[in-house]
Each structure stands twice: as C-alpha cells, then as structure tokens.
Chain A
Amino acid sequence: MASIVQPGHGAEHEHSPVHHQFEDFEQQTEAYIIGMWSFLAQEIMFFGGLFLIYTLYRSRYQETWYQAHTALNVVMGGTNTMVLLFSSFTMVLAVHAAQLKDKKKVLMYLGATIGCAFVFLIIKFFEYKEKFEHMLVPGPYFSVEHFMSDPATRGINPNAAQIFFSLYFAMTGLHALHIIIGILVLGALARHWMKDDKLVTHDYVPTELVGLYWHFVDVVWIFLFPLFYLIPK
C-alpha cells in the first residue's frame, strides 16, 4: 500500500498486482492461503480453550447446565443462526462474483453480509438485555430468582449457574467481538472494491480470504448455538 515503504520493486504480473517480495502471482496466492489457514488454526486454538472449559464444567454440573439454559431465548438464538448461515451464503456469492470480476454483485453481496452481521448484533443486543433484566449477568448482582417460578428449575445450583452464564457471556461475547471485527474487515474490503483498487479487482484471493474468516466466525456460532441453546434433559 502507499504508506508502507517498500525497498526495491517486484515483478508485475500481467493483470494482477504482485507484491515485491513474491516472484510471481502463484507464489503470492499460495503464501496468502497458507498464512490465512495458519491464522485460522490459532483462532481454533483460542476458541478451543473456551470449548474445553465449557465441556469440563458441563460434565460436572449437568443438571444445572440444563436448567440454566432454559433462560436463553431459543427463538432469538435460532434466528441468529439462520442469519449467520445466510450471511455465509451471501459471502460465498461475493467471492464467486469476485472471481467473475463483477464489482456490482460483489458490493451487493458484501453489503448483504454486513447487513446480516448487523442484524445478528442487534438480536444479540436484545438477548443480552433480557439477561440483564433477569439478573443473570455474573457478578455481584447475579441471582437465580428467574428460575424460581418453574418447579423444574427451582433446584438450580446458583454457583454453577453463575459459571454457566460466565461462560455464556465470555464465549458469545468474544464471538460477537469477532463479528464486529468481521464487519470492519468486510467494510474495508468493500471500500477497496468501491475504489476499483486493483488489489481486489484483479485478484479474487483477498476477497476469498475475508470469506474464510467469515465462514470461521459462522462455524464457531454453529457450535455455540447447540451447546448453549439446545441442551437436552
């Protein structure tokens, strides 16, 4: 990019820009792909740690996990799942359009993906608000009052419930943070397309890499949803 000082010059592929450190376009593409997968590998380890903790505590407090999850709104969570799945679909379409160098379609599909992301966050906001109202946010104001009305959940272990909600907020919160980062990255990508930047118009790989990130974020949610919202008795 313009602001980075680059020593020397690189070979110019006929149509697509190749950064100076690469010998040719193929090498650049392969390097980008291996770099992106390495990055995703570490994201998997990052969320993996949380999933491990979840698994250990769930096996220790199985009854509470079932009881606590009744406070979650399956309709909202399910809707969010559909929204994210759809956004992955629009992302795939965006990548396809990038391969076909169709700027209008790319912008349309990127816009749809970003839109879905915002919908997800809005629904999430209302979900969190509900938890807040029911005093289910971990900390000094946490209370299991919400569970007292239903005889099935009356016997809930309040300490384990607080751990459940701690994990709920930690995991869905970090996931939401990744959605926000995704919106920013998608926005930056769209901006490049809007400005006809050769970086993206002549090379679909950057768009594909952003797509990989977005699919990863979606996959994390696909795991989070059943683990938190769909706990069987």
Chain B
Amino acid sequence: MKFNFPFAPEEASTLAAQHDMVFYTITALTVFFTLAVALVVLVLVVRYRHGNKVDRSNLVHHSDKLEIAWSLPPLFLGLVVFFFGAQLYVAERVPPKNCYEVFVIGKQWMWHIQHPNGIRENNTLHIPVGKPVKLTMISQDVIHAFYIPEFRTQFYVVPGRYTQEWFQATQPGTYHMLCNLYCGTQHSEMGGTVVAMAPQDFAKWLQNGGDDGMPQTLEARGAEIFSRNACDNCHTGVSTERGPTLLGVAGSTQVLEDGTKAVADQNYLREAILHPSSKLVKGYPYGTMPEYAQQISEDDTLALIAYLKSISSITAQSQGQNVAAVQSGIVPAAPMVTKPRMADGALATEHFAKTSTVQEGNLAVGALATEKGDEYKK
C-alpha cells in the first residue's frame, strides 16, 4: 500500500485524472457556495442585529428577478457538472474493443479471479499496465461490488447475471481491491490487492503460470469439465434427439421452444448450462437436459463457456467451412473431448474423427502463453 495521510488517493488509471478534474471542480463550487452562504449570513446577522442603527427602509419581501438570478446560474453550473460527469460515466461504462478480459467471481467472502489462459488467483488480481482490462463478474451468492479506489472505479457483482467493469492502469504498483457492497458478516475482510505490472513483467508472469503455476488454459479446463460431467453424452458432433451439437453455438442465434430467437452470448450460455429449462431450444422440450445449477460452480461455468467459444471459432477458422455443414455430419467436425462410454456412442463416434488438431496444441500452456505473451510485448 502506498499512502500515509495524503488527502487524495493515488491516480493510477487512465480515467482517474479525468475523474479528479470533475471532483475538484465540484469541490471548488462546494467550497465557494458554502463559504459564500456562511459569510453572507454571518455578516447579515451581525449588521442587522436588533438594536443596531442601520438602514432598514424600503423593505422588499419578494423579487422574481432575484429568484431567477439565484436559480438559473446554479442550475446552469449544475448542468455543466452533469455533462462532464456523464461523459466520464459513458467512458467508464463502455469498454474499449481490445480489452484483456479477466473473469471475477465474488462469493461470501472472497474473490476468485480467472485469467483466460487458465491462471486462477484468490483475492489478488495481476494486470498489465497500459492495456485496457475488462472484468466480467458474477456472484455466487449475494450482491458484492468490486472497488479499486486508485482506479476510481467500482461496479456491482450480481448473482444471476454477468456485469462488467473496465480500466487501464497507468503505472505499476499494488492497489486496493475492496468489496464495496455490504454482503454479510465478513464484508470488511473481503478484499485483497490489484497488482499492476509492466507489460514485460506481466507477460513473464503469465508464461510462468502465474503465482500458482497452474498450467491449464481456461478452454482446456472447460473441455475437462465438459467431459467429467458427461456433457458429451448428449452434445456430440451432430445434433441428435438427446441434444443439439454445440459446435458453433457460441455467438449463434438460437430458436427457442416458444419461437423466439436469442443470441447465444455469455449470459445465454450460462443460463443454458445452469438452468437449461429457461433456455429450451426448439425440439428439445423440458426434461431433456437436467439442471446443473447445483453441480457446476460459476468458476467452472466460465471455463465451459470458454471451451464453447473455442469450439465455435476453431471449428470455423481451422476447418474453414460452414458450421452447418459440420453439424449435418457431412464434414468431420473438430474433435470434442469425448470418452466412448455412451450407450449408443457408436452413433456419435462414427461421425467424427479423433484427429489431433490445433486444440490439442493449445493444451501446451507454454505455447499459448507465449502466443498471448507476445501480444503484450507490443
């Protein structure tokens, strides 16, 4: 921690300086008007004390001109402040396109953080300096809030839906990570540190598997969870009565049982895994897929979603072919991690080849990390 009786928190993010401009402007207005009112009142009270011989003639009890004079300028000043505050807010709410995305799960009473390459941290968040970082957050239980005072940003972490927060650190250092929405008994202990590292240092940190030395990418972990929970029993390379194929599902438009359409974004995929009956796809009525809400944690859900994203993009990119063609079984699909334990598994295994592909290559952390690490050196 850095400070010791300063009267301002450190400015450590790109928006912190903009924030502080607005803050100090409001402070100037506040100080001015408070002192003005206080001084005028004191002067008047002294001057017009009863018994003082002062001019009290020509008493006026109202003046519309005066009312307008002291209403409109403050209103105008307020609207100016509103404008700059709104500008800052919009910048804070709309993340830039090339963010480094990190996943945050809040639970009573700690923070789990997952980096896309698989590194997991508890109550610590390592980020690169000079690159925008986007947090995709969800709570396992009650509402929390992820607050970094030095970055001048916070946002609620809500159960049941993903929320996001972005920032870009401007200098290396360690900063406060604090839960800032009362969440129960140990709310005041639910915090840690944000460690901003120079880009090279961060790349090295990622390469070395972070502080834990966890070698597995998020996608690979997701693939393992997919198989461990026997998702591949029903979700194979082709759509069958048991379940639709998940190749290409991430980001696609799904037609639901009631005829409505929905885009399979992050929230959709999460719901479809944990509460499938809320996202029934046409042809697969209630009861086809069991609820996994009690069995799969938010951490694992994020890994599964990463895996689903990987088989959408890799399938299309590496095979260079129409996803629909893959789904109809014409073209062998990218291998899905599967074990030959399905009752009618023959049906599925017939239709795709277990060839080693790009995906297995990705399992080598070093390769992926280096690949990603190279990005940060730019």
Contact = CB atoms under 8 A, between A and B. Distances in A.
A155 B257 contact: yes
B372 interface: no
B260 interface: yes
Nearest to A147: B286
Nearest to A157: B278
Given A63-B257, A63-B260, A144-B286, A155 B280 contact: yes
A157 B278 CA distance: 5
B260 A159 contact: no
A206 interface: no
Contacts of B275: 159
B375 interface: no
Interface string B277-307: 1101000011100000000000000000000
A158 B260 contact: no
Interface in B239-282: 257-258, 260, 275, 277-278, 280
Given A63-B257, A63-B260, A154 B278 contact: no
Interface of B is mostly: loop
Given A159-B277, A160-B278, A154 B286 contact: yes
Nearest to A156: B286
Nearest to B293: A159
Interface in A156-198: 156-160
A154 B285 contact: yes
A71 to B, nearest CB: 15
Interface in A12-33: none
A56 B153 CA distance: 30
A63 B257 CA distance: 9
Contacts of B287: 148
Contacts of B260: 63
Nearest to A61: B278
B285 A155 contact: yes
Interface of B: 257-258, 260, 275, 277-278, 280, 285-287
Interface of A: 62-63, 144, 148, 154-160
